[in-house]
Structure 1
């Protein structure tokens, strides 16, 4: 069973794509957990991955709307690269 262990979260809303649209970056360590016997588990490190979540904040309390989530096993794209990806998928947001 693969377990994702959160090892770091960038400051929420550290980067803004457009007014009201923010990027949340999280880094996870992936572990493969396998039972060995009744009381013992073996953990195998499977590396790290970064999750980038794009949210919209309409300004109301507790009302964030998740637009999309992206997983990266290598280098996280820059904010401009992420914006280009979103412009293709969500054209109406950036007009």
Structure 2
């Protein structure tokens, strides 16, 4: 069983893609947990993973709307690269 352990939220809003649209970046450590017997288990480190969540803030108190979530296991994209990815998936957002 793979377990994702939150290492830290780098910044609450790592950047603004467009007015009201923000990026939340979180880093997780991935662990593979295997039961060995009744009283023990083995934990194998599977590296880290960056999770990017794109949210929309309509301006109301505590009302963020999740637009999409992306997982990156290698190089973390820049804000402009992420914006290009979103433009292809959500054209209406950037018109």
TM tier relative to shorter chain: over 0.9
Secondary structure of the residue that 1:59 maps to in structure 2?
coil
CA RMSD across the alignment: 0.7
Q: Deviations over 1:23-52 (max 9, x none)?
A: 000000000001111110110001111000
1:83 aligns to what? Answer: 83
Distance 1:19 1:10 in 2: 21
Report the Cα offset of residue 11 of structure 1.
1.6
TM-score normalized by structure 1? 0.96
Secondary structure of the residue that 2:12 maps to in structure 1?
coil
Name the structure where strand makes up a greater proportion of residues.
2
Gaps of 5+ in 1: none
Query: How many residues are treated as equivalent by the alignment?
Result: 95
**Structure 1 consecutive aligned stretches of length 4 or more whose deviation exceeds 4 Å:** none
Report the Cα offset of residue 14 of structure 1.
2.6
